[in-house]
Amino acid sequence: MTYCINPDCPHPQNPDGSEFCQTCNAKLIEKLRGRYRILQLLGQGGFGKTFLAVDEDRLGTRCVIKQFSPQLKGTKAIDKAVQLFEQEAVRLHELGEHPHIPALLAYFEQDQRLYLVQQFIEGSTLAQELAHSGAFNEQKIREVLVRLLPILKFVHDRHVIHRDITPANIIRRKLDGRLVLIDFGIAKVLTETNSVQPGTRIGTEGYAPIEQLRNGKAYPASDLYSLGATCLYLMTQVRPEELNDPLSGRWLWREHLELRGGGISQRIGEILDRMLRDLVSERYQTADEVMRDLRMALSTPAVSTSVKHSSNGNGKGAPLSMSFPLTEPPLESRPSKPRISAPPPPPSLPVSASRSPQKSSQARKCLHTLHGHTAWVISVAISPDRKTLVSGSLDDRILVWDLNTGDRLGTLTGHTKSVNALAFSLEGRLISCSDDDSIKMWRLPNGDLIRSLSGHLRDVNSVVFSPDGQFIISGSEDRTVCVWKSTTGELLQKFITPGMVRSVAISPNGQIVASGGLDNQIKLWNLVTGQQIRTLSGHQNSILSIAISPQGDRLISASKDKTIRIWQPNTGELLQTLTGHFDIVNAIAISPDGKTLISGSNDKTVKLWNLTTGELICSLNEHTHAVNAIAISSEGKLFASGSSDNTIKVWQLSV
C-alpha cells in the first residue's frame, strides 16, 4: 500500500503501484528523501501528522516521521508553528543521548514541507496501559515517579522544559519495560521569563498548570505538576480537571480513589499534593527535591489496597514493597547512534578524575561568592586591568562587579533574552551576545551602550574580540560565523557552517578563527580570505567551548561527550583527550602562561589541568549546580566561574 502524504487528503491509502492518489489526485511519493516509506498514520494535530515508517537504507528499521503542515491562518501564526517544529528538532538533538528519550535521526525539507525523523519506540503508552489493565496501584505509581523523575532532571539540567507530560506521552518500551518520555513538540528552553503571547495555551488541559494555560509560562515545577496530574489520572481513571474543585480550590483525588476501593500511603500522597500546588513557589522546584522525599517514602512499604487493585495492573501479582534506584540510569549507547559511548551515571558525591590530582583543591581558595542574578549564570569575563568582573545570565542582565572586593557596581540592561557570552578588548570595551539575536558593545565603568550589531537570524552563542581589537567574531544558531568591524559595527564576512555554532575563538596572531557546535566538529577559517582551512573531527557530541593557547600551539575543545580534547591547530592532529568530568563540559579557559587549563561541567565541578602533561591538578566542588562559564584574569592569579546555582565564584588560581 502506498500512502498519500497530502495533509488534506481524507483517504490517503492507495494500492501499490499507484502513481497518483485515487482520492485527491496528488502525485504519490513512494519514499520520502528516497529512503523513508510511510506505513501508517499514528496521529494528527494542528501542526501536522505523525507517521510510522521504515528506513529502507537501514535494513527496514522502523522510525517515526513528523510532517509539518499547520492548519493555521496568518503569517505570524504559521511562523510560530514553524519555530515550534524547528525547536523540537533542536531539543531532540540536544537530548538524544538519553536512552529514555527518542533519538533524532534526521530533519529535512521536501516539497515545501518539513519532516522530522526520530527513533521508533515500540510499546504502549501509559494511557493505553490504563485502558487495557485498569487503574494503577501505588506500586506502579511509585515506579512512574522513580522512572520519570531522573529523566526530568536530565531534561531540566539541559535548560529544557517539556511542557506536555501526560499518560499519552509516556511509553512503556516493549524491549525492557522501561518508561520513555516522548513528544517534545512544545518543549521550551528554560529562562526566567519564558513565555509566549498572553492568552496562548501551552500544554494539555488538566495536566498543564495554571501558569502555562493562562500565559504560556513554564518552569521545572510546571513539569513536576504535570507528572503529578498524570499520576492522579493513572490512579483514579478520572481526568485531572474533574478532580479539582474550583469552588474550594481543593484536589478531590483521595475521595475518588476511595470510591474505587483504592488507597495510597500518606507519604506518597503528600508528595503528590506538593507537586500539584497552584502556586509555583509552593511546589517542588526541582526533580532532585522530589527524589529526596521519594527516597524517604520508599523506605516505607506501599500501602495495601483492595483486592481489586492489589495487582500490578496487568493481572500479575507482585509484592507491594518495591525498591528502585533513585538515580539517573546509565546512558547506554543506542543502536541508532553507535558513535555515542556509554557514559557513567552522574555521581552523588564528588568523584576523582581518572588521574590523581597533583595538589589539594584547598590550595585554590574561593575568595568571593557573588549573589545577584535571579537565574543561571552562563557567561563571565574579567577586564584586562583586572579590576572588573562581568557576568551574564538567563535573567537577561549583565552584572558588573569589583573583582577584588566582590562588591556589585552596576547592571547593564538592554538585552531582552539570556546573555550567552561576554568578552573584553585590550583597551577595555565590553561586548555581549544574546538569545535576542544581537551583539552589544558597552563602555565601562559608566555602562553606556556604544552600539548594537544586528545580522544574525537566531541566538548568538559566542563572541570574541580579535587580539588587536579591530574585529569582532560571533557564532550563532543560524549556522554562521560573522566577522564585524568593531569601530563601526559593519558586517565584513560571514562563514557558513553545517551546524549551529556554540563557540568561537581566534588565534593570538589574529589570522585563524575556530568555530564549533552541533555538528561535533571544529572548523578553522582564514580570517582574511574567509577560506576554510581544515576540520578537526573526533568529538562524539556537540562542541560547547573552544580556546586557543596564548602561544597558538594548542587548540582546546570541550564537548557534550564529557571530554576535553587538545589539538595541534597547524596540523589538525589530536594530541590528547582529557577525561575526568562525569557530565557535559560547558566551558574552558587557558591561563596566560599556557600551562593551566580550567574547565567547568554539568557535574558541578571546576577542574584544573596541567596543559603540558594532561594531568588533573585538582577538582573544586563548591558550586551546587552546573558550572557554565570560566574566565581567567590577565595576569593569571584569579579566575571566576558562573553556575546554574545563580552565583559567581572568584577563585585564587596561583598559590
Residue 279 neighbours by CB under 8 Å, 6+ apart = none
Query: Is the CB of residue 491 less than 8 Å from the CB of residue 499?
Result: no
Which contacts qualify for 270-275: CB closer than 8 Å, 24 or more apart? Answer: 271/145, 271/297, 272/228, 272/231, 272/232, 275/224, 275/225, 275/227, 275/228
Residue with cell 562525569: 582
Residue 316 neighbours by CB under 8 Å, 6+ apart = none
Neighbour-count burial for 433-446, b at 16+ CB within 10 Å, e otherwise? bbbbbbbbbbebee
By annotation, the residues acting in catalysis are 164
Query: Is the CB of residue 68 less than 8 Å from the CB of residue 111?
Result: no
Query: Is the CB of residue 305 less than 8 Å from the CB of residue 261?
Result: yes
Residues in the chain: 655
Query: Is the CB of residue 226 less than 8 Å from the CB of residue 209?
Result: yes
Query: Is the CB of residue 109 less than 8 Å from the CB of residue 115?
Result: yes
DSSP string, 589-621: EE-TTS-EEEEEETTS-EEEEETTT--EEEEE-
Residue 476 neighbours by CB under 8 Å, 6+ apart = 437, 456, 457, 458, 459, 460, 461, 482, 500, 501
DSSP string, 321-378: ------SPPP-PPBTTBTTS--PPPPPSS----SS--SS-GGGS-EEEEEE--SS-EE
Please give the Cα distance from 486 to 488 (Å, whole number). 6
Structure letter (DSSP) for residue 103: P
Cell, residue 263: 488507597
Query: Is the CB of residue 12 less than 8 Å from the CB of residue 22?
Result: no
Cell, residue 599: 574547565
